[in-house]
A and B are shown apart, each in its own frame.
Chain A
Amino acid sequence: MSMRHDPELDDILQDGELKHVAELLRAGRMSEDPPLDDAFRSALRRQLMNRAWGMGGTTTVPWWRKAFGPAGLAWAGAAVGVVLIAAAVVFTALTSPSTGGLTKDVLVSSPMNDQSAVRLQQPILVNFNQPMDHPSTEGAVQITPATTVAFSWSANTLSVQPTSGNLAPNTQYQVTIGPGAKTASGEKLAAPKTITFVTSPPAPSPSPTPTPIPSPTPRTQFADQHQILSVTAGASNFQWSPDSSFLFFVSAGGGLVSVPAAGGTVTTLVQDGVTSAAISPAGDAIAYIRSGKIEILNLVAGTTVEISPTPAPTRVGWTKDGVVWTAADGVYAQGTDGPIKLTALPTTGAINVISFSPDGAHLAYTQDQSLYMFDIASGKGVTLGIAGAQLLGWSPDGTGVMYSTATGVVVSDVGGKTAATLPAGEPTWSSQDEILLGSDTDIWEVRPDGTGLTKLAEGTYHLPAWAPNGVAFIFIRGGMVFGASAPAPAQRPSALDTAAAVVNSFMQARKSSDGVKASAYLNDHGRKAYSSSGGGLNLVLTGDPSFSRYYLLTQSITGSQPDTAQFVVRIVLSHDKLDVSTYEETLTLVRTQGSQQFLIDHATAGPLLTLGKGAEVVSVEVSPGTVKITFDSDLKPESVAAGVIILDSKGKQVGGNPVYANRTVTITGLDLKPHATYKLVVLSTVQDVGGTNIAAEYDLTFAGPADAHGGSNQRGEQSPSPSPRASPSARPSSSPPTS
């Protein structure tokens, strides 16, 4: 007998007899697996996870015996139990045992075959091209996942109806008519026929009815509309003080004028010659250009500081650090020893600077009919729109910009990426992310993403300008400046719906292997998560098995300012049309004001799981008092009671006993707190009706849902189905596929 040589022992055991003893020891290695109760293994894991969750408490050793008792044998028995109607069965094609004479080939078809969004409320229809023997045909039906069904016939069509009512959501069904099926004349099927289809997501549960917001009836004036002052044509540069109490503007004659927003005494601050003016972010100073110089008027002290830069200034603005201006050759700021050139402006062709962004980080200029957005820090510009585009305004935070095109108002970020196109008008963007669109005939309110367009009033509303408080605004009509308050904006689509739309677009692009398009939904962090040098996730999945479908398992708003949402997406991989494996990605999305778009900021992937080994969780729905977990298979009800558990952040089990009906486990008696963390655990002791245990313990971490009764501090957060934030826990498995 030859034994493996262990060089480590060479210098320990040099004597022949000692070596022989060593060989005997090695030959006597325990060769068989010791007796092991799988219930113990999974119960210990659960206990560890509970402990890890709370990292507290003590356990006396035989805890699992109390919980699981003499369970070992029961599992063992079930594992080899008879699979009734449900199992993944591989048939070998039979040759037709035709006993002579002409037999008509049996053709099997289904309108559902290869469909990808089959609705849940319908039976599975199987059509035969000739009369069939009912008992043998029904006996030959095999369904994966494990499903208890009832049969009915209509002529040559067999209806297979799940006894639990509906089909399971997000599930690939494989319905096989085995070779045991016979025609009415006794001929057997030549070969098994499998019908494959995928069901749609679950219908959202009824949402709390949003308070109906009465559609504002267009009016001719606002309730608190008031006249502020009369102005002559040509007045420009209307600006609010940061506290929304004063207005400043440059009169037609070049004077710098202030007036209380409520109306009242008009004060002329500078008599004439003012060409560009900007109020400081703190509101304590106004900088303006006059006679080729910059003057900074301190509104508190009434003093003026003068800067006389060369070349002459053309436009003035502010950053949080102080005044900035443009001149023919570049952008400048005032340093302690005089002007500092921040960056050069393009020198090819004449450029006309229009304005600085509110944060002083960008400026807009035109050159040869084209509008450019110039990033002062990088010294680079991008074109906005096509030739003839005109700057119409900025978002208050300086990350968004509005400009005109032939058809309307384009909202984009300062990088030039379009967020929406609005109807034509004179726009102003509020701190509350509402845009007013004024015109000769009416005024509209709309969100920067183009949704919620509402006509507020009819009449002339020129050059509307929001006050920094996001409530008041001014407009010009017939040579008068008016002030008014805008009504509360219409309810916006929930942040969750908006984020879900981005996730869907992102996943669709990946499914189409369009990496470029998918990347557009990632911010810098997100791109890192999908880079080989960063998180290593695969944006585009290649190879076999291939990316066949995805669905959103859970979704939740996890923060505001900025809006943050988290999704767990199941990615399903298939080979030869059949789903073979799946993994989950947890995506975190963040919304920025400039683009108004949710972008994926963070992504992680869970392990790759093999499908077809026991029941799978296909939907999780969370409300404050109830959690519903839907499986793809019918379950053995007795395996559910101890197998589906919700734990709080201390690892303590919460909620009443699970109730099982129609493939769904419902746990009630919960009092889930908003944003507190909970964990759903589905133990591997849960069995489908065929007696197969689920392949591995399934854990899902989720946050308590936002309070549906107004606990949410966020406008429009109501979700049609408040769902958990989730992160799949590590499970034994290989890694997700690499491309």
Chain B
Amino acid sequence: MSDPARDDERDLVERAKRDPRQFGALYDRHFQQIYRFVYSRVREQTAAEDVTSEIFMKALKAMPRYQDTGRPFAAWLYQIAVNAIADRYRTLRPSSPLEDFHDLSIAGPPLEEEAAHRDEIRRIWVLVEALPAQQKTALVLKFQEDMKIEDIALAMGKTAGAVKLLIHRGVSRLRDEAGTLRPAE
């Protein structure tokens, strides 16, 4: 079945492949998403700008070679993003705390319980940062970016099976390290 949004994207991609000057439309469509992802990884505005800039420059340059594999165009951008972030942190380590940015206001439970839950969430994301890079990337793309396994596989240059394994190992490790996490109610 044809998906109009997907057809629309395919059309934009085809046009940008033929004429790089059409890349602006793809940039407009994906900038926010990619910048947000990058920011969530580097958590510093200047660094996020540097990396985002690098990602789109690389994407523009590689546009003529882009192959539509049936996956969303964004998955390809995430692939470039994952590599760009990895490149950057071969030499740099993130230093900012991330508490502020994984801070959800969750309506419902009593104040004390809610505070405890928020604390749990903060802790789990702090632990994510300590995971091996590949597990961390897989978890971020799955839980933060809400991507499909197939798309994560494309972005990370891995098979879907390998991605599932990374997610399983990452989540298991978080469980082990969190130790005192409460079971789901």
> Which residues of chain A have a CB within 8 Å of any CB of chain B?
1, 8-9, 11-13, 15-37, 40-41, 44-45, 47-49, 51-53, 55, 59, 61-62, 64, 699, 729-732
Cβ-defined contact, B25 with A731, below 8 A? yes
Cβ of B21 under 8 Å from chain A: yes
Cβ-defined contact, B50 with A51, below 8 A? no
Q: Which chain A residues lie closer than 8 Å to B182 at the CB level?
A: 20
The CA of A158 and the CA of B59, in the complex, are separated in Å by 57
The CA of A713 and the CA of B40, in the complex, are separated in Å by 59
* A13-B168 contact given A20-B181, A23-B184, A28-B124, CB 8 Å threshold: yes
Cβ-defined contact, A21 with B24, below 8 A? no
Cβ-defined contact, B167 with A44, below 8 A? no
CB-contacts of B33-61 with A (<8 A)? 35-36, 39-40, 45-46, 48-50, 52-54, 56-57, 60-61
16 interchain pairs (CB within 8 A)?
A1-B109, A18-B172, A22-B143, A23-B184, A25-B125, A25-B171, A27-B117, A30-B40, A31-B104, A33-B36, A34-B35, A37-B45, A44-B49, A45-B27, A48-B57, A699-B24
The CA of A30 and the CA of B39, in the complex, are separated in Å by 10
Q: Which chain B residues lie closer than 8 Å to A37 at the CB level?
A: 45, 49
Q: Which chain B residues lie closer than 8 Å to A24 at the CB level?
A: 120-121, 124, 181
Q: Which chain B residues lie closer than 8 Å to A23 at the CB level?
A: 184
Residue of A nearest to B64 (CB): A55
Q: Which chain B residues lie closer than 8 Å to A9 at the CB level?
A: 142, 167
The CA of A384 and the CA of B83, in the complex, are separated in Å by 72
Q: Which chain A residues lie closer than 8 Å to B27 at the CB level?
A: 44-45, 48
Residue of A nearest to B145 (CB): A29
Q: Categorize the interface residue count of chain B.
A: 35 or more
* A64-B171 contact given A21-B181, A31-B104, CB 8 Å threshold: no
Q: Which chain B residues lie closer than 8 Å to A699 at the CB level?
A: 24
Cβ-defined contact, A729 with B21, below 8 A? yes
| Least CB distance, A728 to chain B, in whole angstroms | 11
* A45-B101 contact given A16-B183, A34-B35, CB 8 Å threshold: no
CB-contacts of B41-94 with A (<8 A)? 45-46, 48-50, 52-54, 56-57, 60-61
* A52-B60 contact given A24-B121, A30-B101, CB 8 Å threshold: yes
Cβ-defined contact, A731 with B24, below 8 A? yes
Residue of B nearest to A61 (CB): B50
Cβ-defined contact, B128 with A59, below 8 A? no
The CA of A224 and the CA of B102, in the complex, are separated in Å by 94
Contact with A along B110-122 (1 / 0, CB 8 A): 0000000100111
Cβ-defined contact, B21 with A44, below 8 A? no
The CA of A17 and the CA of B106, in the complex, are separated in Å by 21
Q: Which chain A residues lie closer than 8 Å to B40 at the CB level?
A: 30, 34
Contact with A along B152-185 (1 / 0, CB 8 A): 0000000000001001100110110010011111
Q: Which chain B residues lie closer than 8 Å to A32 at the CB level?
A: 101, 103
Contact with A along B121-134 (1 / 0, CB 8 A): 11011001000000
Q: Which chain A residues lie closer than 8 Å to B28 at the CB level?
A: 45, 730-732
Q: Which chain A residues lie closer than 8 Å to B32 at the CB level?
A: 33, 36
